Protein backbone atom coordinates (compact mmCIF):
# COMPACT_ATOMS: atom_id res chain seq x y z
CA UNK A 1 0.00 0.00 0.00
CA UNK A 2 2.75 2.46 0.96
CA UNK A 3 4.71 1.55 -2.16
CA UNK A 4 1.66 2.22 -4.31
CA UNK A 5 1.11 5.61 -2.64
CA UNK A 6 4.76 6.57 -3.24
CA UNK A 7 4.47 5.61 -6.92
CA UNK A 8 1.31 7.68 -7.29
CA UNK A 9 2.96 10.67 -5.58
CA UNK A 10 6.00 10.33 -7.87
CA UNK A 11 3.81 10.53 -10.97
CA UNK A 12 1.90 13.46 -9.47
CA UNK A 13 5.14 15.39 -8.86
CA UNK A 14 6.37 14.58 -12.37
CA UNK A 15 3.06 15.77 -13.85
CA UNK A 16 3.20 18.98 -11.81
CA UNK A 17 6.72 19.70 -13.06
CA UNK A 18 5.72 18.98 -16.65
CA UNK A 19 2.63 21.19 -16.42
CA UNK A 20 4.78 23.96 -14.89
CA UNK A 21 7.11 23.84 -17.89
CA UNK A 22 4.18 23.92 -20.31
CA UNK A 23 2.63 26.87 -18.49
CA UNK A 24 5.92 28.74 -18.67
CA UNK A 25 6.25 28.09 -22.40
CA UNK A 26 2.61 28.92 -23.11
CA UNK A 27 2.89 32.10 -21.09
CA UNK A 28 3.12 35.26 -23.26
CA UNK A 29 6.54 35.07 -24.92
CA UNK A 30 7.95 38.54 -24.29
CA UNK A 31 7.20 38.68 -20.51
CA UNK A 32 8.69 35.24 -20.04
CA UNK A 33 11.85 36.02 -22.01
CA UNK A 34 12.29 39.20 -19.95
CA UNK A 35 11.89 37.15 -16.76
CA UNK A 36 14.41 34.55 -17.96
CA UNK A 37 16.93 37.27 -18.91
CA UNK A 38 16.51 38.85 -15.46
CA UNK A 39 17.31 35.49 -13.84
CA UNK A 40 20.52 35.23 -15.88
CA UNK A 41 21.49 38.77 -14.79
CA UNK A 42 21.05 37.72 -11.15
CA UNK A 43 23.54 34.88 -11.67
CA UNK A 44 25.97 37.12 -13.62
CA UNK A 45 25.94 40.52 -11.91
CA UNK A 46 27.30 43.30 -14.08
CA UNK A 47 25.97 41.76 -17.30
CA UNK A 48 22.86 42.56 -19.33
CA UNK A 49 21.08 39.64 -20.99
CA UNK A 50 18.65 39.44 -23.90
CA UNK A 51 16.94 36.33 -25.31
CA UNK A 52 15.10 36.31 -28.66
CA UNK A 53 13.40 32.91 -28.83
CA UNK A 54 12.26 29.98 -26.66
CA UNK A 55 10.79 26.57 -27.45
CA UNK A 56 9.79 23.51 -25.43
CA UNK A 57 10.93 19.95 -26.14
CA UNK A 58 9.58 16.78 -24.55
CA UNK A 59 9.83 15.78 -21.74
CA UNK A 60 11.42 18.56 -19.67
CA UNK A 61 13.69 20.50 -21.98
CA UNK A 62 13.70 24.18 -22.90
CA UNK A 63 15.67 25.59 -25.85
CA UNK A 64 16.68 29.27 -25.83
CA UNK A 65 18.06 30.88 -29.00
CA UNK A 66 20.01 34.00 -29.93
CA UNK A 67 21.14 34.99 -26.44
CA UNK A 68 23.39 38.01 -25.85
CA UNK A 69 25.40 38.85 -22.73
CA UNK A 70 26.90 42.35 -22.50
CA UNK A 71 28.86 43.71 -19.56
CA UNK A 72 28.12 47.09 -17.97
CA UNK A 73 31.07 48.76 -19.72
CA UNK A 74 29.77 47.56 -23.13
CA UNK A 75 33.24 46.19 -23.91
CA UNK A 76 32.43 42.48 -23.69
CA UNK A 77 29.59 40.95 -25.71
CA UNK A 78 29.04 37.20 -25.71
CA UNK A 79 26.58 35.83 -28.29
CA UNK A 80 25.16 32.35 -27.62
CA UNK A 81 23.51 30.69 -30.61
CA UNK A 82 21.47 28.18 -28.61
CA UNK A 83 21.17 27.14 -24.97
CA UNK A 84 19.38 23.91 -24.07
CA UNK A 85 18.17 23.58 -20.48
CA UNK A 86 17.45 19.94 -19.59
CA UNK A 87 15.56 19.83 -16.30
CA UNK A 88 16.27 16.98 -13.90
CA UNK A 89 13.38 14.50 -13.81
CA UNK A 90 13.08 14.69 -10.02
CA UNK A 91 10.99 16.71 -7.62
CA UNK A 92 11.96 19.09 -6.21
CA UNK A 93 14.32 20.01 -9.04
CA UNK A 94 17.85 20.61 -7.69
CA UNK A 95 19.93 20.31 -10.84
CA UNK A 96 19.67 21.20 -14.51
CA UNK A 97 21.87 20.29 -17.45
CA UNK A 98 23.02 23.06 -19.78
CA UNK A 99 24.26 22.62 -23.35
CA UNK A 100 25.25 25.66 -25.43
CA UNK A 101 26.52 26.44 -28.92
CA UNK A 102 28.75 29.51 -29.11
CA UNK A 103 31.79 30.80 -31.01
CA UNK A 104 31.75 27.79 -33.31
CA UNK A 105 32.09 25.38 -30.36
CA UNK A 106 30.06 23.80 -27.58
CA UNK A 107 29.76 24.00 -23.80
CA UNK A 108 27.98 21.78 -21.31
CA UNK A 109 27.67 21.48 -17.54
CA UNK A 110 25.60 20.16 -14.66
CA UNK A 111 24.34 23.18 -12.72
CA UNK A 112 23.31 23.34 -9.07
CA UNK A 113 21.95 26.47 -7.36
CA UNK A 114 22.22 27.04 -3.61
CA UNK A 115 19.98 29.93 -2.58
CA UNK A 116 21.17 29.99 1.02
CA UNK A 117 24.83 30.19 0.03
CA UNK A 118 24.04 32.44 -2.94
CA UNK A 119 26.07 30.28 -5.31
CA UNK A 120 25.60 28.65 -8.70
CA UNK A 121 27.93 25.70 -9.32
CA UNK A 122 28.86 24.38 -12.77
CA UNK A 123 30.04 20.80 -12.25
CA UNK A 124 31.58 18.71 -15.04
CA UNK A 125 32.01 21.87 -17.11
CA UNK A 126 33.33 21.10 -20.60
CA UNK A 127 33.98 23.68 -23.31
CA UNK A 128 35.11 22.33 -26.66
CA UNK A 129 36.55 23.92 -29.81
CA UNK A 130 35.67 27.58 -29.24
CA UNK A 131 37.28 29.50 -32.10
CA UNK A 132 39.33 32.44 -30.81
CA UNK A 133 39.04 34.26 -34.15
CA UNK A 134 35.26 34.48 -33.65
CA UNK A 135 35.53 36.22 -30.27
CA UNK A 136 35.23 39.75 -31.64
CA UNK A 137 35.60 41.67 -28.38
CA UNK A 138 38.92 39.92 -27.68
CA UNK A 139 40.37 40.74 -31.10
CA UNK A 140 39.23 44.38 -30.90
CA UNK A 141 40.31 45.08 -27.32
CA UNK A 142 43.75 43.46 -27.74
CA UNK A 143 44.22 45.02 -31.18
CA UNK A 144 45.99 41.95 -32.53
CA UNK A 145 45.08 38.76 -34.29
CA UNK A 146 44.50 35.53 -32.37
CA UNK A 147 43.51 32.16 -33.79
CA UNK A 148 43.04 28.74 -32.29
CA UNK A 149 40.60 26.24 -30.80
CA UNK A 150 39.99 26.76 -27.08
CA UNK A 151 39.09 23.83 -24.84
CA UNK A 152 38.74 23.69 -21.08
CA UNK A 153 37.14 21.55 -18.41
CA UNK A 154 36.71 21.87 -14.68
CA UNK A 155 34.43 23.25 -11.97
CA UNK A 156 33.12 26.81 -11.75
CA UNK A 157 31.37 28.39 -8.75
CA UNK A 158 29.68 31.77 -9.22
CA UNK A 159 28.58 33.79 -6.21
CA UNK A 160 25.48 35.93 -6.08
CA UNK A 161 27.51 38.70 -4.45
CA UNK A 162 29.66 39.18 -7.53
CA UNK A 163 32.44 37.59 -9.54
CA UNK A 164 35.16 38.69 -7.09
CA UNK A 165 34.44 35.60 -4.96
CA UNK A 166 33.96 33.19 -7.86
CA UNK A 167 36.17 30.13 -8.24
CA UNK A 168 37.33 27.98 -11.14
CA UNK A 169 39.68 25.03 -11.17
CA UNK A 170 40.45 23.04 -14.28
CA UNK A 171 42.59 22.46 -17.34
CA UNK A 172 42.78 24.87 -20.28
CA UNK A 173 44.11 24.01 -23.73
CA UNK A 174 44.44 25.92 -27.01
CA UNK A 175 45.17 23.91 -30.14
CA UNK A 176 46.56 25.34 -33.40
CA UNK A 177 47.18 28.65 -31.64
CA UNK A 178 48.43 31.63 -33.64
CA UNK A 179 49.34 34.97 -32.06
CA UNK A 180 50.89 38.22 -33.22
CA UNK A 181 53.43 39.94 -30.95
CA UNK A 182 53.80 43.60 -30.05
CA UNK A 183 57.57 43.25 -30.36
CA UNK A 184 59.55 40.50 -32.06
CA UNK A 185 61.17 37.75 -29.97
CA UNK A 186 64.20 35.98 -31.43
CA UNK A 187 63.50 37.66 -34.75
CA UNK A 188 59.87 36.47 -35.01
CA UNK A 189 56.87 38.83 -34.90
CA UNK A 190 54.28 36.05 -34.67
CA UNK A 191 54.22 32.46 -33.47
CA UNK A 192 52.25 29.30 -34.23
CA UNK A 193 51.79 26.70 -31.53
CA UNK A 194 50.53 23.18 -32.04
CA UNK A 195 49.28 23.20 -28.46
CA UNK A 196 49.30 25.37 -25.34
CA UNK A 197 48.07 23.67 -22.15
CA UNK A 198 47.93 24.79 -18.51
CA UNK A 199 46.30 23.93 -15.17
CA UNK A 200 44.29 26.96 -14.14
CA UNK A 201 42.70 28.22 -10.92
CA UNK A 202 40.66 31.41 -10.45
CA UNK A 203 39.91 32.95 -7.05
CA UNK A 204 39.53 36.52 -5.77
CA UNK A 205 40.26 38.02 -9.21
CA UNK A 206 43.55 36.19 -9.54
CA UNK A 207 44.27 33.46 -12.10
CA UNK A 208 47.02 31.02 -11.13
CA UNK A 209 48.77 29.14 -13.96
CA UNK A 210 50.66 25.91 -13.23
CA UNK A 211 52.29 23.15 -15.26
CA UNK A 212 51.94 25.16 -18.45
CA UNK A 213 53.47 23.82 -21.65
CA UNK A 214 53.65 25.07 -25.23
CA UNK A 215 54.97 23.47 -28.39
CA UNK A 216 55.30 24.65 -31.96
CA UNK A 217 57.54 24.60 -35.02
CA UNK A 218 59.61 27.59 -33.82
CA UNK A 219 59.64 27.41 -30.00
CA UNK A 220 58.64 25.08 -27.17
CA UNK A 221 58.81 25.23 -23.39
CA UNK A 222 57.05 25.49 -20.03
CA UNK A 223 55.50 28.33 -18.05
CA UNK A 224 53.82 29.21 -14.76
CA UNK A 225 52.64 32.37 -13.05
CA UNK A 226 49.70 34.60 -12.21
CA UNK A 227 47.29 37.01 -13.86
CA UNK A 228 45.76 39.67 -11.59
CA UNK A 229 42.40 40.60 -13.08
CA UNK A 230 41.49 44.28 -13.40
CA UNK A 231 38.90 46.40 -15.17
CA UNK A 232 38.95 46.69 -18.08
CA UNK A 233 40.07 43.07 -18.41
CA UNK A 234 42.82 43.81 -20.96
CA UNK A 235 44.61 45.82 -18.23
CA UNK A 236 45.01 42.67 -16.10
CA UNK A 237 48.59 42.36 -14.85
CA UNK A 238 50.89 39.50 -15.89
CA UNK A 239 53.48 37.74 -13.71
CA UNK A 240 54.68 34.78 -15.75
CA UNK A 241 57.99 32.91 -15.88
CA UNK A 242 58.93 30.73 -18.84
CA UNK A 243 61.52 28.22 -19.93
CA UNK A 244 62.05 28.73 -23.66
CA UNK A 245 63.61 26.37 -26.18
CA UNK A 246 64.03 27.64 -29.76
CA UNK A 247 63.53 24.86 -32.30
CA UNK A 248 65.73 23.97 -35.29
CA UNK A 249 63.29 25.59 -37.73
CA UNK A 250 63.88 28.98 -36.05
CA UNK A 251 67.65 28.57 -35.63
CA UNK A 252 68.21 27.52 -39.24
CA UNK A 253 66.07 30.38 -40.49
CA UNK A 254 68.41 33.14 -39.29
CA UNK A 255 72.11 32.86 -38.35
CA UNK A 256 71.90 35.97 -36.16
CA UNK A 257 69.06 34.40 -34.13
CA UNK A 258 71.09 31.20 -33.81
CA UNK A 259 74.08 33.20 -32.50
CA UNK A 260 71.93 35.08 -29.96
CA UNK A 261 70.36 31.79 -28.82
CA UNK A 262 73.78 30.19 -28.31
CA UNK A 263 74.92 33.18 -26.28
CA UNK A 264 71.81 33.01 -24.06
CA UNK A 265 72.34 29.29 -23.42
CA UNK A 266 75.94 29.97 -22.35
CA UNK A 267 74.84 32.83 -20.11
CA UNK A 268 72.28 30.86 -18.11
CA UNK A 269 74.03 27.44 -18.20
CA UNK A 270 70.74 25.58 -18.52
CA UNK A 271 68.97 23.49 -21.15
CA UNK A 272 66.37 26.23 -21.57
CA UNK A 273 66.40 30.02 -21.80
CA UNK A 274 64.61 31.63 -18.84
CA UNK A 275 62.32 34.55 -19.57
CA UNK A 276 59.74 36.72 -17.82
CA UNK A 277 56.47 38.17 -19.12
CA UNK A 278 55.13 41.22 -17.27
CA UNK A 279 53.04 44.25 -18.15
CA UNK A 280 49.37 43.67 -18.91
CA UNK A 281 47.28 41.53 -21.23
CA UNK A 282 47.07 44.20 -23.94
CA UNK A 283 50.70 45.33 -23.72
CA UNK A 284 52.79 42.41 -22.37
CA UNK A 285 56.46 43.03 -21.64
CA UNK A 286 58.94 40.25 -22.46
CA UNK A 287 62.55 39.91 -21.33
CA UNK A 288 65.10 37.14 -20.96
CA UNK A 289 66.25 36.23 -17.47
CA UNK A 290 64.94 35.13 -14.09
CA UNK A 291 62.47 37.19 -12.10
CA UNK A 292 63.14 34.98 -9.11
CA UNK A 293 64.37 31.44 -8.59
CA UNK A 294 62.99 29.59 -11.62
CA UNK A 295 60.04 27.33 -10.90
CA UNK A 296 59.71 25.76 -14.33
CA UNK A 297 61.99 24.17 -16.85
CA UNK A 298 61.57 23.26 -20.47
CA UNK A 299 61.74 19.63 -21.50
CA UNK A 300 64.22 18.42 -24.03
Render pLDDT for 3-39 as a digit per residue (tens, 0 to 9).
344 444 444 444 444 445 554 555 566 776 777 777 7
How high is the pLDDT of residue 281?
A: 92
Please state, in angstroms and rounded to a whole number, the distance separating the CA atoms of residues 243 and 211.
Answer: 12
Please state, in angstroms and rounded to a whole number, the distance separating the CA atoms of residues 157 and 124.
Answer: 12
**In this model, does residue 300 exceed pLDDT 80?**
no
Q: Which residue has the higher pLDDT, 272 or 16?
A: 272
Give the number of other CB atoms < 10 A from CB of residue 219: 22
Residue 235, SS3 per DSSP: helix
Give me the helices (H) in the chain, please: 2-26, 29-43, 136-142, 248-251, 255-268
How high is the pLDDT of residue 19?
A: 47
**In this model, does residue 139 exceed pLDDT 70?**
yes
Give the number of other CB atoms < 10 A from CB of residue 262: 12
Listed ranges 29-38, 65-74, 100-109; the one with the highest mean pLDDT: 100-109
How high is the pLDDT of residue 11?
A: 47
pTM of this prediction? 0.80
Whether the Cβ atoms of residue 219 and residue 194 lie closer than 8 Å to each other: no
**Burial call 97-112: b when 16+ CB within 10 Å, e when fewer:** eebbebbebbbbbebe
Phi, psi (rounded to 5 degrees) for 32? -70, -45
Q: Among 20-34, 47-61, 117-131, 246-260, which stretch is predicted with the lowest mean pLDDT?
A: 20-34
Region 257-283: mean pLDDT is: 93
Q: Among 43-52, 221-230, 276-285, which stretch is predicted with the lowest mean pLDDT?
A: 43-52
Chain centroid to CA 246: how far? Answer: 29
Domain boundaries, the chain: 1-102, 133-300
Return mean pLDDT, the chain: 82
Please state, in angstroms and rounded to a whole number, the distance separating the CA atoms of residues 235 and 233.
Answer: 5
Residue 75, SS3 per DSSP: coil
**In this model, does residue 241 exceed pLDDT 90?**
yes
Region 133-154: mean pLDDT is: 90
**In this model, does residue 78 exceed pLDDT 50?**
yes
If we measure between CA atoms, which residue out of 281, 217, 211, 285 comes closest to residue 245?
217
- What are the C-alpha distances in Å from 77 to residues 47, 72, 81, 287? 9, 10, 13, 33
Amino acid sequence: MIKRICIVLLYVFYTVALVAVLLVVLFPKEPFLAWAAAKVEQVLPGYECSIEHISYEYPLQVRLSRISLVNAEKEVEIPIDTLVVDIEKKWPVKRVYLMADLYGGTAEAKVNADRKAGTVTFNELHVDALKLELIDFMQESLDRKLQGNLRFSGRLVLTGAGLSESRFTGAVKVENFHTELRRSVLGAGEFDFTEVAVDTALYRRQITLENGTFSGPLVAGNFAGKVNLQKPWQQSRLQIECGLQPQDALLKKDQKVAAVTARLYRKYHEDFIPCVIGGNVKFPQFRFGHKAKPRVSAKK
